[in-house]
Structure formats: C-alpha cells, structure tokens
Structure 1
C-alpha cells in the first residue's frame, strides 16, 4: 500500500461575479505527516501565477463534510446535498471553493484506511524531526 495519497478534484471558485469557474485542485495526504492534508492549486488557477499549497488538519475535512468547522485560516462546511465549502483566509484576501462532497469522502476514506483517526501518533517520526531540528541549529 502506498504511503502517499493524491486525488484530483474540481473546485468551483466562488467569486463576486455570478459565474463560478471550475478550477483543478489536488488533495495530498502522506502517512509521514498523518495529521495534515495539503490542497494544491496549479499556477494557471491562481492570481499570483504560481502553484499554491494550503496545508491544514485532516480533521477539518473529516468533520467539515458534516458540520461547519474551523475558525482560523481554513474553514470547512457542508453546502447543500452534494457540496462542501472550503474557505482559505490569507492577508491578501479570501478564496472560497465548492468541492463535491463525494470526492472529499472518497479521499478521506483512503486516508483513514492508511492512517485511522487516533493512530496518527504511530506514524510520526519524532526522532527524525528532532534530528532535523538539531542539524539546522548547528
């Protein structure tokens, strides 16, 4: 079984204009960073023209498909029958995207099969992280 999961999703960008363009995005999960999910947007889909990554707690997606969660830079909530809203807050502004809830559930199912909730600590390499910190300190 692979220790990294990637899944492409279509995100609908909510903008001031009534049209909601679809933009590609990719969800990433790595067993080596079991508490986190990364969502990336390719350069053509961003205002800066560079690939953008957001890293946030997997727990936000797990709970956010059922109920509103988050009060920081990333917030997640259900929207209607088949959509989930993910909000990304930054000093430059806020990006709001809609993602099919079924796509998120499939992704989460795969991540939870790899690392079940409550077992994340078994996959964290504390010695390796400490060694990295000490190496950078010298």
Structure 2
C-alpha cells in the first residue's frame, strides 16, 4: 500500500471517528436538554405562582422569563422570548435552544445545523411552589 493510500485511509478513519464523537455529543445534549429546560420552567412557574396578581401581568411574565433564562443560561441554553407562554393555571410553556459541543460539525457549514438542539416543554409549578392563596384565582 502506498503512503498516499495510507494517509487517505487515516483521514477517512479520522473523519468517521470525529463524526461518531460529534453524533454522540449531539445525542447526549439532546437527552440532557429537556431536564435542564424543565428546571428553568420550574423557576419561571414559581415566579408566576408566587406573584400577587390575580392574573399574570406583563411584569410577572418578564420576571418569569428572566428567571427561566437565568437558570437555562447555566447550561448554555437560550430561552426564546417568542416561544414563552404563561397559562392561567400557572403552567409555563418555553422553548430552549442550545448547540452541542462538537469537533467536526462546527467547522463544516452544511453540518452546523446538526449540532443545534431545540426543545419545547410545558411545565407546571411544583407543589411546593404553587402555594397561591390569592382570591379570584381557582386552583
């Protein structure tokens, strides 16, 4: 086998190996993101649940969004403002986006999109956070 063929074979093996590693990274990020985003949703739902307003106001919504962003930011997840909704029962629906750490995908333009992970969840307040005692709100 010539030296060129050996080098070409090594390059192909390296590319296959990097693709497998990057695929594993994307898989692990995809599996971890819902749990991390759920925690951000719990923080937002707690803000809404503890507000003194009978119906969530824009001030409450902004505070809840900021709480979700702060928690999600700890995990490099961006919570999208356009995909953040508060429902009357204090449930929060939010979408988070993150990019899996990759070795190869981030350097190849047509593969970059494969590293993006987007998750949408609806999160109800935890029982400990839903101690709403306000008049005018049914629980």
| Shared fold per TM-score greater than 0.5 | no
Higher strand share: 1
Name which structure has the greater RCO, CA cutoff 8 Å, separation 6+: 2
Point out the structure with max Rg over C-alpha: 2
Q: TM-score, normalised by structure 1?
A: 0.32
